[in-house]
Amino acid sequence: MSVLDDDMPSAAFPTRYGMFRIYAFKEGSMEHLVLVRGDVSGARALPVRIHSQCITGDALGSLRCDCGVQLADALSYLGSQEAGMLFYMGHEGRGIGLYHKIQAYALQDGGADTVEANAQLGFAPDMRSYRVVASVLRRFGVRSVRLITNNPDKVQDLVETGVDVAERIPLVIPCNMHNAGYLRTKKEKMNHILG
């Protein structure tokens, strides 16, 4: 079923970053959220962040990744804008799920990087797709976006679905002793632009 055929329940969503409206939508059995700030209908060059769920980083404060800090920085930035959107996608562990992500952590403890760990578990380095985001953007009438990302695959995926990506806004997070290797792998093996 297309997201365009689904009901998108919504509610007012006050946050420490400002006032948003929160919407839920489904993609098959996967559930996603989008936080909308201001009037986005017909918007051009709208700031948009597509953030994949990371329970360990977003909720538990893991230092193994940069996810939680990226989420907070993106929400802070969007809260300072008149309008914007943050997609919170249910793509835990780049799409492999929480259980397999913890298995990958164990392999990383043994010396594998994130790409190698996924391969050892039988997964591609990144299992995510952002095509459903394009459907939601069209539903809201967004004409073009300024995508808040370091990941060129997100830009390419949206462009391939007809989304006009007017600009890429970098979201660079300083490394720490626990995530330096993770960030190096993102840069060297996944072509992330980390500045």
Exactly one of 64, 128, 138, 146 is catalytic; which is it?
A: 128
Q: Which amino acid is at 167?
A: E
> Are β-strands 46-52 and 84-89 bridged in parallel, bridged antiparallel, or unpaired?
parallel
Q: Which two tokens stand for residue 80?
A: 């300072």
Please give the Cα distance from 62 to 72 (Å, whole number): 13
Q: Do you know the residue count of the chain?
A: 195
What are phi and psi for residue 6, nearest 5 degrees?
Answer: -85, 150
**46-52: strand order across its sheet:** 10-15, 18-27, 30-37, 84-89, 46-52, 144-148, 164-169
Whether 126 is catalytic is: yes
Exactly one of 58, 113, 126, 157 is catalytic; which is it?
A: 126
Please give the Cα distance from 94 to 31 (Å, whole number): 15
| 65, 53 contact by CB (below 8 A) | no
CA distance from start to end of the chain: 39
Whether 39 is catalytic is: no
For residue 98, the SS3 value is helix
Where in the sequence numbering do the catalytic residues fall?
A: 126, 128
